[in-house]
Amino acid sequence: MTGPGPAVRDALRVGVREWRTVGMLLGANWLVAALMVAPVLPAVLATFGHAPLAVGEPLVSSEILGGLGTVFAGDRALSVLGPLVLLVLLQTFLAGGVVWRVCAGGPFHLGAFFGQSGRLVGRNARLFLWLLLLLVAAMLVPLALGAGMHGLGLDTSPRGVEELWFFGNPFGGGTLVLLLVLGLAVAFWRLSLEVGRVLLFRQDVQDTRRTAWRAFRLVLRSPLAVVLYALLGLLASLAVLLAVRFRASLPEGGAGLALLALAVGQGVLWLRLAFQVAGTRFAALLVERLDAISSTNGPAGPSPA
């Protein structure tokens, strides 16, 4: 049985250790991103391939930004919708393998990873659809809060945000409260999804509706776990932001530098995906802990964490 603090540590450790799993997720990410960018690559090459005026210029320069206007002229655009649908499918598929890795441990076998992914993909997809209902409900909380704050004169409308962004400070007390509630709502929903997936894997049940409901109740009874999960998400966000910042601060202007930036960018993505695996591990530990409590207390059911 793992306590909340050690659970976070263990989750992070697994996020680091499961580099092959992270690699699988990164591969899917690459595939989706490449499909997004592919339609405009010929235009990028045509515009910038023999363009001495753009040589040595950083991305945010009139030369490169002006050229991007040409790249995206007419109806040409990144392909977003199709690859994102593929992303949904891919990630739903890979979820089973990820849960297998964080629950079972042991040596990584590609065949076993895909086997578990395939075994659980249908149920994971149904579980996700059931839990979308919970997502809608969870989002109502910050929406209602935002409306209430607006009614009280704490302006959170887009016009207010525009003024605050350019001329004031958008991170006032009201906005921070709203962001906090939004973060907790997302964490609640996301942890429910993770717990549901772990339950599907551990108990090998077919009834995804009942599993979704059970996951929701388990998480509802574990407010400390929700807070810790949200903190894990906050830690992930901060780490990723720092990495993004580091990547953005790299010098620009050469082909080698562009490759270096792309490589560092993979580090950013790696960090994000490692935290994703850590989050799943956190959910697995939560289920383990609740199961352990449940077995200690007999058939009365799980207690709050």
Partner 1 sequence: MASLLPLLIAAAIGITPAPPRFDAAGRSIGAAPSDRAASYVLEARYDPGARRLSGTARLTWTNRSDVPQRTLWFHAYWNAFKNAESTFSREADLRGISRAGTRSYGRDDWGWTELRSARLPDGTDVRPTLRWEHPDDDNAADQTVFTLTLPSPVPAHGTVTLELAWEARVPKLIARTGVQGRYALFGQWFPKVGVLEVPPQRGVHAPTWNCHQFHAASEFYADFGTYDAALTVPRAMVVDATGVRTGRTENPDGTVTHHFHQDDVIDFAWTAWEGAVQVDDVFRADGLQEVALTALVPADARASAPQILAAAKATLEHGGRAWLPYPYPHLTLVAPPLGANTSSGGMEYPTFVTLYSRTDPVTPRDVLLWEVTVHEVGHGWWQGLLASNEFEEAWLDEGVNTWATAEVLEGVGLRWDLAQLAAPGTRWLLRPLLRSSIADRNVRSRGRSPRYQSPVVRPVWLFQNSREAGRTVYDRGAGALRTIAWEVGPAVFARIMRTYAERWAFRHPGTDDFLDVASEVAGRDLRPLGTALLRGTAGLDDAVEELSCKRIAPGGGPGMYDRDGGPPVFRPAARGGEDDRARCEVLVERHGDLPLPLDVRLTFEDGTHLTESVPPGEVWRRVTTERPFPGGRVVLAEAHPGAPPQLDTNRLNDERSLQPTPAPASTVAGWLLYSAQILSAAVGSLL
Applying the rule CB under 8 A, the residues between 154 and 183 that interact with partner 1 are 155, 159-160, 162-171
Q: Does 107 bind partner 1 (CB under 8 A)?
A: no
200: helix, coil or strand?
A: helix
Which residues 13-32 are close enough to bind partner 1 by CB under 8 A? 25, 29-30, 32
Nearest distance, CB of residue 247 and partner 1, angstroms: 8
Q: Does 6 bind partner 1 (CB under 8 A)?
A: no
* Candidate ranges 201-209, 251-259, 281-289, 297-305; the one touching partner 1 (CB under 8 A): 251-259
Which residues 206-235 are close enough to bind partner 1 by CB under 8 A? none
Q: What's the rounded Cα separation, in Å, for the pair 156 and 167?
A: 15
Let me know: does 98 contact 179? Beta carbons within 8 Å.
no
What backbone torsions phi and psi does residue 150 show, to the nearest 5 degrees?
-65, -40
Q: Does 1 bind partner 1 (CB under 8 A)?
A: no
Q: What's the rounded Cα separation, in Å, for the pair 59 and 67?
A: 10
Phi/psi-derived region of residue 57, left when phi > 0, alpha when psi is between -120 and 50, beta in every other case: beta
Q: What's the rounded Cα separation, in Å, for the pair 186 and 194?
A: 12
* Candidate ranges 79-87, 101-109, 110-118, 280-288; the one touching partner 1 (CB under 8 A): 79-87
Q: Does 261 bind partner 1 (CB under 8 A)?
A: yes
Nearest distance, CB of residue 122 and partner 1, angstroms: 16
Whole-angstrom CA distances from 116 to 104, 169, 202, 221 are 11, 48, 12, 29
Of positions 154, 235, 248, 293, contacts partner 1 by CB under 8 A: 248
Nearest distance, CB of residue 301 and partner 1, angstroms: 29
